[in-house]
Amino acid sequence: MRRRTFFTLPAAGMAAPRDWELQVDQLTSGASHHFFGYIGHVQNTPWNGSGRYMAALRTGFQDHMPAPTEAADIVLLDTARSNTVLPMETTRAWNFQQGTMFYWNPKAQETELLFNDRDPRTNHVFPVLYDIAKRKRIHEYRFSDTPFGNGGVAQTGGKFAAINYGRMARTRPVTGYPKAYDWNAATPAPDNDGVFVVDIASGRKQLLVSFRQLADHVKQNGRNIEGQDLFINHTLWSRDAKHLYFFLRADFEVRGKRVDIPFTIRADGAGLTMHQQHIGGHPEWESGNRIIGDVKGEQILYDVEQKKVVEVIGGPAVFPNPGGDVALSPDGKWFVNGYRKRSENFYIVYRRADRSYAETKGFPHPGKTSGELRVDAAPTWNRKGNQIAFPAIAPDGTRQMFRITVRT
């Protein structure tokens, strides 16, 4: 497609950065909708190792959540050929907020892509490891007793966290796969479900921590959540893969009953920690033990070992909504906050070395600001740390992929 450049400027009313600027263009177009689906925190990215190919979903609708039979196409954008769309596979396990949990395998990031799928007969969810060079599935991680999906790949590679998307389909539909099978639908806090870890090479699984253990841990810390239908979301590996940060949730949309408790646990299953300090938005790992997120309206760094805020980034004048979708560049030098203001998404790009920043224009998405079909900001960095992909509604009303380029 012909590249469509929308602007090259710093945000209106802001001091122009001395030596860099932002440029935005549209990557995909046409009657079909194209999107990556998930936030680029924990170094998740559409781009493969060399940056030539970008993973995306393609679908013919955006007006309803997908039925089990409504598969999305898994495609690649060939950036060396004007973003030509190359069909690869299909998946029946996807949604508009988190896609199909695409992750390039860190041990083979040029050719191996992880995504989720489901069995059309049983509605069992399972992760898939796919080789784009061979154009074939090289591993399906099927477990009939625990049919979970990939919830996040360790940034150093070798393993992924797995969670129950059938449970999420019941308890918070925007994050799940409609009508996916939940093996514990009648049990609020089962002891055979929770956060799993799967070895990518061997396919061996381990239940790292169960819902039962988590509910008991919460009770020991002074809160009783017995009888509430628990689920887990946002299983985020630290950059060194030593810690996993996640949220234990229940009754998420019910005022006065919501459970939304952050936990960390070490990769070996030790050190389960319930955090009293809630980190708002979609947290991102910095280095070591530090998480980036929102506390009391400020973009902060929180140390999970010290259990305290250790730094403020930018301040409210820079980040008016620090609870937006955030992502740190792979080299840690750049940071982006994508946030919603009324019916538009804006992106603030921040250079940490000199605290310079710029903001994009707004990208309107009226009618899709909340609920299961919403268009989240969902910024994702490339591996060089100079481009950011994001979804937006194109002028023709379709959901497409766009790109911010940081020009220095």
Helix (H) or strand (E) holding 214: helix 211-220
Residue 6 predicted with pLDDT over 90: no
Rounded distance between C-alpha atoms, residue 150 and residue 159, angstroms: 10
* Domains of the chain, CATH where assigned: 1-30+324-408 (no CATH), 45-276 (2.120.10)
pLDDT at 242: 96
Report pLDDT digits (tens) over 274-329: 999 999 989 999 999 999 999 999 999 999 999 999 999 999 999 999 999 999 99
What percent of the chain is predicted at pLDDT more than 70?
96
pLDDT at 18: 58
Report pLDDT digits (tens) over 347-366: 999 999 999 999 999 999 99
Q: In the chain, what is the straight-line distance between the N-terminal and C-terminal CA atoms, in Å?
A: 26
Rounded distance between C-alpha atoms, residue 284 and residue 237, angstroms: 9
Report pLDDT digits (tens) over 227-243: 999 999 999 999 999 99
- Residue in 193, 206, 203 with CA at minimum distance from that of residue 268: 206
Q: What is the pTM of this model?
A: 0.94
Report pLDDT digits (tens) over 81-107: 999 999 999 999 999 999 999 999 999
Half-sphere exposure (Cβ direction) of 280: Cα atoms closer than 13 Å: 13
Residue 12 predicted with pLDDT over 50: no
Question: Measuring CA to CA, how many Å separate 105 from each of 114, 156, 332, 377, 386?
Answer: 7, 9, 20, 24, 21
DSSP for 241-306, written as a single string:
SSEEEEEEEESTTSTTT-EEEEEEEETTS---EE-SS--EEEEEE-STTEEEEEETTEEEEEETTT
Report pLDDT digits (tens) over 147-168: 999 999 999 999 999 999 999 9
**Exposed / middle / buried, residue 78 (Cβ in 10 Å: 0-12, 13-18, 19+):** middle
- Residue in 117, 36, 40 with CA at minimum distance from that of residue 77: 36
What percent of the chain is predicted at pLDDT more than 90?
94
